[in-house]
Amino acid sequence: MKRAGFAQPWLPMLLLLPQLTIIVIFFYWPALEAVRSSFYLEDPFGFGSSFVGLENYQILLESREYRRVALFTLFFTLCVTFFSLAIALLLAVKADKVLRGATSYKTLLMWVYAIAPPVAGLMGAMLVNHSNGMITHLFGAAGYEFRNGLNYSDTAFTMILVAIWKQIPVNFIFFLSGLQSIPVSLREAAKIDNKSGTSRFWTITFPLLAPTGFFLLITNITYALFDTFGIIDVVIKGEPGNNPLTLVYKVYVDGFRGNDLGGSSAQSVVLMVLVLALTVFQFRLIEKRIHYT
Amino acid sequence: MLARTTLLATATVFCGSVAFAETEITWWHAMGGQLGETVNQIAADFNASQDDVTITPIYKGSYEETLTAGIAAFRAGEQPNILQVFDAGAATVIAAQGATIPVADLLAENGGFDINDYIPGVRYFYADSDGKMIGMPFNSSTPIMYYNTQALEAAGVTAPKTWEEFQSVTAPALKEAGYEPLSQSHLPWIFTENFMSRHNLPFATNNNGYDGLDTQILVNNEAIRDHFTAAKSWIDDGLMGYYGSNWSDNAKPFEEGRTAMWLGSSGSFGGLMQKADFEFSATYLPYWEAVTTEPTQTFIGGASLFAMSGQSNEENAATAAFFNYLTSEEVQYMWHRETGYVPVTQAAYELAQTDGHYDRFPAAKIGVEQLSLASGDNTRGYRMGFYVQIRDVMNREYGRIFSGETSVEDAFNTIETEANELLSRFARTQGAG
């Protein structure tokens, strides 16, 4: 087989140039800048900075508070990813079977997707308001005093709830289209062999949904880690206080609120490494084992 | 009508461009809501009062956001002429000596400056170690105790002078009368910084941080630990409400008449006049008789205005002209009357007195009076770098005390350790330590 190629070696480079320029200016440069400033201790106004080597990283490793934030981020990400995927899958499977009014049903489920994270956070904050929030009342009726912003786990509950709710529609859309791409003939054949719907789902439908599911797993982890910033900011009303924070929010608190650029840069480098690991994991380990058709 | 408005707008734009000699300056501030409207009013009045300078006030969000925006703009060479910086951010800005023009120098070059024109309580908080004023005290407030007059009457008590009185007499009676006795809006400011100044306790080494960068915080003392132990028991016994580290969440129960007394800012007066539909008054911040029998004045809080460097001489002169206007007695009195922030000059305070403002609203006087109480060695203020983060550490640990996650002892040890780490880190960003 003849390999297609360019006659001139500079032509492909020229064609790639616009894309490369954008990547270098907007992605590599800031990333390198973050790595550089993570080795420095800098005056907020930029009058002077001194090289401190790995000290900023060492402080992170020794900080009890940073560990606490990292642990919460792990818990938060697991909860948000698991529940938003599970609930969306359930809804998609059920919506797939709806015969009448299917379109309006699906549209209604997707609506939430259009809500901006801070607005979702604001709605969550209203639901858990101390004096007149509906969730506060609901817990109150069950005999539990729900105190958002005071009780660490109550605040965590609010954040996780809003983050899950906001992510369900995205997952729902993908799962639904995944389900609809499963050939009808395959489903009918399965129906002849096995009359239990649950068992058919786990042995036939679920494995066929795996590529979609895997893609969503990675996007949901990234969502929980990074895109929930707006929700968190509004739920805690911009006051870190004794509230659960995620790693990304901590970068903001130390860098933008506290003006500690070196420490904040070190934290963002940690996050970059985390994303890098996640990407390698995605391509190297899992993609090979998943069967795409 | 629309056509007329458009015509008018065009005319305004046209006239604006004709007056080419006019100097334009910008003012970044953090005054939202009612306060923001008053700020806009002051700017509009200033612009109307003369033809040489046009000032544009721009709201940049919270105090923290405004400071960060100002620093980022400075690094990019796009700084405003005037930046409002709050008490906790003052150390960062004052330490960066090339970033601002000391207000004492600016005004001395443009019409004269005398620090004795200012009321004693505000003179030196935003000054350097030699007592030279760097930032101009603008919205100066101090924590005071507001009370619902009806609630106190219903319970048959008067506003407490000491925490002992609150604990044994006032709070139980208010609870009996069906009120939540107390809430407060800012634990680091009211229960920590001003706790120190009210009892004349040192808050940090190096003369509360004014005399050097190698400062250590002195927050971990017996008096404040006892205070937080008491506060925790008040919360447990229903004598005090705590609604998290958000200011307005704690003010709301008082505004709604559920809480009888509220520790807030003297600058909250204007807002309360609008929101509260009950009669209220105010008194001094209580003190512990067990700690001192001679309570002293409190620190000023709020924020000051800094003239950012790197501007042309014309613009600096324009900034000075605005500062002179802002500190004139009429403007200060108007600001004091509308918002409740204290008048920063003696002349404005006297004007408020002769105009009968305090006869009409006795509560409006409490802040100024409290700032004019006896001073002590530790009542000038404090100067600590990375203080925004130190306050966040305090808020976190106080929240954990009140939720029972930690003990008072452990919390103060943590605050002391983490604050000292931040302080030495800040000292190193300034090339010291």
| Tokens (6 digits) for A70 | 């990292």
Give the dihedral of Cα atoms B200, B203, B204, B209; nearest 10 deg.
-80
Closest CA to B256 of B152, B363, B173, B148: B148
Asked whether the predicted pLDDT for residue B18 surpasses 70, the reply is no
Option in A41, A45, A50 nearest B71 (CB) = A45
Name chain B contacts of A46, Cβ cutoff 8 Å: 74-75
Would you tell me the crossing angle of helices A152-180 and A102-110 to the nearest 10 degrees? 140
How much is the pLDDT for A105? 80
End-to-end CA distance of chain B: 67
Contact A50 B428 (CB under 8 A): yes
Reported as a pLDDT band with limits 50, 70 and 90, residue B316 is very high
On whether any CB of chain B is under 8 Å from the CB of A50, the answer is: yes
Asked whether the predicted pLDDT for residue B37 surpasses 80, the reply is yes
Question: For B352-378, what is the mean pLDDT?
Answer: 92
DSSP code at position A147: -
Instruction: Answer yes or no: are the C-beta atoms of B281 and B363 closer than 8 Å.
Output: yes
Option in A45, A150, A238 nearest B62 (CB) = A238
Contact A149 B402 (CB under 8 A): no
- For B38-50, the pLDDT digits (tens) are 999 999 999 999 9
On whether any CB of chain A is under 8 Å from the CB of B75, the answer is: yes
The CATH number of residue B284's host domain is: 3.40.190.10
The CATH number of residue A281's host domain is: 1.10.3720.10
Assess if residue B60 is contained within a domain. yes
On whether any CB of chain A is under 8 Å from the CB of B32, the answer is: no
**Distance between B102 CA and the closest CA of chain A, angstroms:** 16
Q: How far apart are CA A56 and CA A264, in angstroms?
A: 9
| Tokens (6 digits) for B61 | 């969000």
| ipTM field | 0.86
Contact B430 A43 (CB under 8 A): yes
Contact A240 B396 (CB under 8 A): yes
Q: Are B272 and B250 in a shared domain?
A: yes
Asked whether the predicted pLDDT for residue B247 surpasses 60, the reply is yes
Asked whether the predicted pLDDT for residue B12 surpasses 50, the reply is no
**Distance between A204 CA and the closest CA of chain B, angstroms:** 49
Asked whether the predicted pLDDT for residue B3 surpasses 70, the reply is no
Q: What is the mean pLDDT of chain B?
A: 91
Q: With left for phi above 0 and alpha for psi between -120 and 50, is residue A241 left, alpha or beta?
A: left
Instruction: Answer yes or no: are the C-beta atoms of B243 and B250 closer than 8 Å.
Output: yes
Give the length of chain A.
293
Assess if residue A172 is contained within a domain. yes
How much is the pLDDT for B30? 95
What percent of chain B is modeled with pLDDT above 70?
95
Reported as a pLDDT band with limits 50, 70 and 90, residue B7 is very low
Q: Are B322 and B364 in a shared domain?
A: yes
How much is the pLDDT for A287? 66
Question: For A261-276, what is the mean pLDDT?
Answer: 94
Residue B399 burial by Cβ neighbours in a 10 Å radius (0-12, 13-18, 19+): buried
On whether any CB of chain B is under 8 Å from the CB of A185, the answer is: no
Domain total for chain A?
1
Q: Are B129 and B162 in a shared domain?
A: no
Question: For B12-26, what is the mean pLDDT?
Answer: 63
Asked whether the predicted pLDDT for residue B14 surpasses 60, the reply is no
Q: How many CB pairs under 8 A join A and B?
A: 105
Asked whether the predicted pLDDT for residue B1 surpasses 50, the reply is no
Contact B405 A152 (CB under 8 A): yes
Contact B403 A242 (CB under 8 A): yes
Q: How far apart are CA A54 and CA B428, in angstroms?
A: 15
| Tokens (6 digits) for B57 | 């006030």
How much is the pLDDT for A198? 86
On whether any CB of chain A is under 8 Å from the CB of B244, the answer is: yes
Task: Choose the weakest-confidence range: A185-189, B233-237, B328-332.
Answer: A185-189
Asked whether the predicted pLDDT for residue B267 surpasses 60, the reply is yes
Contact A44 B71 (CB under 8 A): yes
Q: From the candidates A259, A260, A261, A265, which should be mutated to test the interface with B, based on the most B CB atoms within 10 A?
A: A259
Question: For A114-128, what is the mean pLDDT?
Answer: 87
| Tokens (6 digits) for B25 | 């300056």
Contact A45 B68 (CB under 8 A): no
Asked whether the predicted pLDDT for residue B6 surpasses 70, the reply is no
Q: Are B232 and B331 in a shared domain?
A: no
Domain ranges, residue A108: 52-289
Reported as a pLDDT band with limits 50, 70 and 90, residue A289 is low
| Cα nearest neighbour of A40 on chain B | B429
How much is the pLDDT for B205? 96
**Distance between A269 CA and the closest CA of chain B, angstroms:** 20
**Distance between A253 CA and the closest CA of chain B, angstroms:** 8
Instruction: Answer yes or no: are the C-beta atoms of B389 and B422 closer than 8 Å.
Output: yes
Q: What is the mean pLDDT of chain A?
A: 89
Contact B249 A152 (CB under 8 A): no
On whether any CB of chain A is under 8 Å from the CB of B405, the answer is: yes
Domain total for chain B?
2
Q: What's the CA angle centered on B136, arms B34 and B47, to 5 degrees?
A: 60
Closest CA to B71 of A52, A249, A255, A34: A255
Option in B75, B386, B403 nearest A152 (CB) = B403
Question: For B212-223, what is the mean pLDDT?
Answer: 95
Q: How far apart are CA A11 and CA A19, in angstroms?
A: 14
Reported as a pLDDT band with limits 50, 70 and 90, residue B11 is very low
Question: For B282-308, what is the mean pLDDT?
Answer: 95
Q: How far is CA B253 from the centre of its chain?
A: 22
Query: Tell me, what amino acid is at A8?
Result: Q
Q: How far apart are CA A166 and CA A168, in angstroms?
A: 6
Name chain B contacts of A49, Cβ cutoff 8 Å: 429
How much is the pLDDT for A211? 84
Name chain B contacts of A47, Cβ cutoff 8 Å: 96, 98-99
- For A20-43, the pLDDT digits (tens) are 999 999 999 999 999 999 999 988
Locate tokens 């006869």: which residue? B359
Q: Helix, strand, or coil here: A138? A: helix
C-alpha distances (whole Å) from B410 to each of A62, A194, B221, B416 are 18, 62, 13, 10
Asked whether the predicted pLDDT for residue B427 surpasses 50, the reply is yes
Give pTM, 2 decimals: 0.89
Asked whether the predicted pLDDT for residue B34 surpasses 70, the reply is yes
Asked whether the predicted pLDDT for residue B9 surpasses 60, the reply is no
Compute φ and ψ for B74, nearest 5 degrees. Answer: -60, -40
How much is the pLDDT for A288? 65
Asked whether the predicted pLDDT for residue A84 surpasses 90, the reply is yes
- For A220-239, the pLDDT digits (tens) are 999 999 999 999 999 998 88
| Cα nearest neighbour of B402 on chain A | A150
Assess if residue B5 is contained within a domain. no
Instruction: Answer yes or no: are the C-beta atoms of B260 and B152 closer than 8 Å.
Output: yes
Assess if residue B185 is contained within a domain. yes
Q: Are B199 and B270 in a shared domain?
A: yes
- For B159-201, the pLDDT digits (tens) are 999 999 999 999 999 999 999 999 999 999 999 999 999 999 9
Instruction: Answer yes or no: are the C-beta atoms of B183 and B262 closer than 8 Å.
Output: yes
Q: How far apart are CA A165 and CA A124, in angstroms?
A: 10
How much is the pLDDT for B370? 93
Instruction: Answer yes or no: are the C-beta atoms of A76 and A160 closer than 8 Å.
Output: yes
Question: For B252-276, what is the mean pLDDT?
Answer: 92
Q: Which is higher by pLDDT, B182 or A207?
A: B182
Query: Tell me, what amino acid is at B227?
Result: H
Assess if residue B376 is contained within a domain. no
How much is the pLDDT for B13? 46
Assess if residue A10 is contained within a domain. no
On whether any CB of chain A is under 8 Å from the CB of B238, the answer is: no
Asked whether the predicted pLDDT for residue B217 surpasses 90, the reply is yes
Assess if residue B1 is contained within a domain. no
- For B128-161, the pLDDT digits (tens) are 888 899 999 999 999 999 999 999 999 999 999 9
On whether any CB of chain B is under 8 Å from the CB of A254, the answer is: yes
Locate tokens 């990292």: which residue? A70
| Cα nearest neighbour of A240 on chain B | B392
On whether any CB of chain A is under 8 Å from the CB of B400, the answer is: yes
Q: How far apart are CA A260 and CA A251, in angstroms?
A: 10
| Cα nearest neighbour of B394 on chain A | A241
Assess if residue A209 is contained within a domain. yes
3-state secondary structure chain B: CHHHHHHHHHHHHHHHHHCCCCEEEEEEECCCHHHHHHHHHHHHHHHHHCCCEEEEEEECCCHHHHHHHHHHHHHCCCCCCEEEEEHHHHHHHHHCCCCEECHHHHHHHCCCCCHHHECHHHCCCCECCCCCECCEEEEEECEEEEEEHHHHHHHCCCCCCEHHHHHHHHHHHHHHCCCEEEEECCHHHHHHHHHHHHCCCCCEHHHHCCCCCCCCECCCCHHHHHHHHHHHHHHHCCCEECCCCCHHHHHHHHHCCCEEEEEEEHHHHHHHHHHCCCCEEEECCCECCCCCCCCCCCCCEEEEEEEECCCCHHHHHHHHHHHHHHCCHHHHHHHHHHHCCECCEHHHHHHHHHCCHHHHCHHHHHHHHHHCCCCCCCCCCCCCCCHHHHHHHHHHHHHHHHCCCCCHHHHHHHHHHHHHHHHHHHHHHCCCC
Reported as a pLDDT band with limits 50, 70 and 90, residue B218 is very high
Q: Helix, strand, or coil here: A40? A: strand
Q: Which is higher by pLDDT, A51 or A113?
A: A51
DSSP code at position A42: E
On whether any CB of chain B is under 8 Å from the CB of A260, the answer is: yes
How much is the pLDDT for A291? 59
Asked whether the predicted pLDDT for residue A188 surpasses 90, the reply is no
Contact B397 A151 (CB under 8 A): no
- For A50-62, the pLDDT digits (tens) are 899 999 999 999 9
Contact B425 A256 (CB under 8 A): no
Contact A259 B245 (CB under 8 A): no
Q: Are B258 and B243 in a shared domain?
A: yes
Give the length of chain B.
433
| Tokens (6 digits) for B76 | 């990019």
Option in B396, B397, B403 nearest A151 (CB) = B403
| Cα nearest neighbour of B248 on chain A | A237
How much is the pLDDT for A113? 83
Q: Are B254 and B163 in a shared domain?
A: yes
Asked whether the predicted pLDDT for residue A99 surpasses 90, the reply is no
| Cα nearest neighbour of A245 on chain B | B396
Assess if residue B380 is contained within a domain. no
DSSP code at position A149: T
Domain ranges, residue B279: 143-298+385-429
How much is the pLDDT for A131? 78
Contact B75 A256 (CB under 8 A): no
Assess if residue B122 is contained within a domain. yes
| Cα nearest neighbour of A261 on chain B | B429
Assess if residue B17 is contained within a domain. no
Run of H or E including A153: helix A152-180
On whether any CB of chain B is under 8 Å from the CB of A53, the answer is: no
